[in-house]
Amino acid sequence: MIDRDTSIGVARVALNRLVRTLDAENNALAALDARHIGEFCAAKTESLLELHHIGISISAQTLPDDLKPLVSLARQKLDLNQWLLLMHLDAARAITTTIMHAICDSESDGTYSRSIR
């Protein structure tokens, strides 16, 4: 088992890495640049998994005061990240629906059209 001081040091490094990753991904998503989403996802997963393992030895009650603002910052950036990802997913759904309807309409011979023309 890792001692508490080592766990706190590892947590600090993981939180800083997570915040940097979230900043980069959030900026990319806001700029509609999804080229590195896979890399961002892998880095977030690694940081969050590391924090999960450390969280077993550090509870919210025993978290050092100097780490609390960093945890809060990471949580805020995760919330923004979730919102941005949901926006992109909603846009992808809308585009998919439009394409699906266009394909269905182009394959239809008009026999079962939705409206009478």
* Among 49, 77, 70, 59, CA closest to 4: 59
Q: pLDDT at position 112, please?
A: 62
Q: pLDDT at position 114, please?
A: 60
3-class SS string, 16-32: HHHHHHHHHHHHHHHCC
Q: pLDDT at position 10, please?
A: 87
* Among 41, 45, 43, 54, CA closest to 9: 54
Q: How far apart are CA 7 and CA 102, in angstroms?
A: 55
pLDDT digits (tens, 9 = 90+) for 6-65: 888 888 999 999 999 999 999 999 999 989 999 999 999 999 898 888 877 777 777 888
Q: How far apart are CA 99 and CA 101, in angstroms?
A: 5
Q: pLDDT at position 28, please?
A: 96
- Residue 114 corresponds to which tokens in the numbers above? 């939705």
pTM above 0.85, yes or no: no
- Residue 90 corresponds to which tokens in the numbers above? 């909603």
pLDDT digits (tens, 9 = 90+) for 54-99: 877 777 777 888 899 999 999 999 999 999 999 999 999 999 999 9
Instruction: Please name the residues in contact with 87: beta carbons below 8 A apart, sequence gap of 6 or more.
Output: 29
